[in-house]
Homo-oligomer: A and B are copies of this chain.
Amino acid sequence: MTRETTADRPITASGVRRAAERIAGHVIRTPLIENDFLNEAVGGRVLLKAEVLQHCGSFKARGAYNLISQLNSDERKRGVLAWSSGNHAQGVARAARQFDTPATIIMPTDTPALKIEQVRAMGAEIVFYDRYTEDREEIAKPIQRERGLVLAPSYDHPDIIEGQGTLALETVDEARARSLTLDAFITCCGGGGLTSGCATLLEDVSPATAVWIAEPEDFDETWASIKTGVRQRADITKHTICDAIATPTPGRLTLPIMQRLVRGGVTITEDEVGQAMVFAFKYLKLVVEPGGAVALAALLTGKFNGLGKTTAITLSGGNVDPSLFAAILQRHGG
């Protein structure tokens, strides 16, 4: 049985629970943070799932570990292949290293240097491509075939989706320990792996929680796809600072789940992203990358109205180059 043959099985809340058992002790149970200043700014209670404190600085360690831990010994010997703008690459590289499995990663040449450095530090081999002129799948296929590698997709795979869903399971468990029920759950949404995994789990354990997505401008094709029922494509030649969630289109597996379970979507401008990053810097003391700050921006801008609600959001990742962060602090730091 290869990963490919399991790629069409149903995605379920029990699958998320099994993933949680697999990753326990290997992936960080990140803190669910609450902050005076944020609660006051929003006029409600906000629970921040701080995945910036996850291994390699993003939630991607969850799905990658869940997938790679299930490879058989032949597959582990041959290795895994992934393409990624950076965070998934690090998650795969780290999980592969935990199982002593070779990892080959296809990455855009304009990936933030910090992400490249961390993937290298985890011992993975990097193959670069130009994301404006080359097709990463065309580059990946011959390498995958030749080396017999298992593909670890960045979102469109049940093991990945259910792995990312463990984030919502921890959030609900921790909220309950504080006697809180979630009115809403907002994700930073790229291809929809995190969103569809979390939505699947929430439907089962907290069905009254409204799942919303936040996307950057020019890359808000997921909410457009959900609204229209037709899979939209972003113009990937557009520039965005939100590299982590600049995906061309929602996944084949993730879109139907999101269509069924996502209640709303908001689009965040680059200035709003910068302001949210500065808020996180000043009051949360967390480094959040642009693509990891859109859900926070949804609340701070009021595009999602958190007044009187208990809202959980993902701070999905924190891998941002010092020079970009410094520029954002200078522009929006007041």
Residues of A within 8 A of B (CB): 31, 33, 36-37, 40, 52-53, 55-57, 94, 114, 118, 121, 278, 281-288, 318, 321-323, 325-327, 329-330, 333-334
Q: Which residues of B contact A318 (CB under 8 A)?
A: 285
Residue contacts A-B, CB under 8 angstroms, 30 given: A31-B31, A33-B53, A36-B55, A36-B94, A37-B118, A37-B121, A52-B285, A53-B285, A57-B283, A114-B282, A278-B322, A281-B322, A282-B322, A285-B286, A285-B287, A285-B288, A285-B318, A287-B287, A321-B333, A322-B329, A322-B333, A323-B330, A325-B326, A325-B329, A326-B326, A326-B327, A326-B329, A326-B330, A326-B333, A329-B329
The DSSP consensus for interface residues of chain A is: helix
Q: Which residues of B contact A284 (CB under 8 A)?
A: 53
Q: Which residues of B contact A321 (CB under 8 A)?
A: 333
Q: Which residues of B contact A57 (CB under 8 A)?
A: 283, 285
Q: Which residues of B contact A40 (CB under 8 A)?
A: 121
Q: Which residues of B contact A285 (CB under 8 A)?
A: 52-53, 57, 286-288, 318
Residue of B nearest to A113 (CB): B334
Residue of B nearest to A286 (CB): B285
Q: How far is the CA of A40 from the CA of B55 in the complex (A)?
A: 14
Residue of B nearest to A35 (CB): B55
Q: How far is the CA of A114 from the CA of B334 in the complex (A)?
A: 10
Q: Which residues of B contact A56 (CB under 8 A)?
A: 36
Residue of B nearest to A288 (CB): B285
Q: How far is the CA of A282 from the CA of B330 in the complex (A)?
A: 18
Q: Would you list the 10 A-B pairs with minimal beta carbon distance, nearest first?
A: A322-B333, A285-B318, A52-B285, A326-B326, A322-B329, A326-B329, A285-B287, A31-B31, A326-B330, A57-B285
Cross-chain contact A330 with B322 (CB below 8 angstroms): yes
Q: Which residues of B contact A333 (CB under 8 A)?
A: 321-323, 326
Q: How far is the CA of A227 from the CA of B327 in the complex (A)?
A: 44
Q: How far is the CA of A223 from the CA of B57 in the complex (A)?
A: 36
Q: How far is the CA of A323 from the CA of B282 in the complex (A)?
A: 11
Q: How far is the CA of A40 from the CA of B287 in the complex (A)?
A: 21
| CB proximity of A87 to chain B, nearest CB, Å | 12
A329 with B334: in contact, given A53-B31, A287-B285 (CB under 8 Å)? Answer: no
Q: How far is the CA of A295 from the CA of B330 in the complex (A)?
A: 27
Q: Which residues of B contact A330 (CB under 8 A)?
A: 322-323, 326
Q: Which residues of B contact A36 (CB under 8 A)?
A: 55-56, 94
Q: Which residues of B contact A281 (CB under 8 A)?
A: 287, 322, 325
Q: Which residues of B contact A118 (CB under 8 A)?
A: 37
Q: Which residues of B contact A31 (CB under 8 A)?
A: 31, 53
Q: How far is the CA of A52 from the CA of B283 in the complex (A)?
A: 10
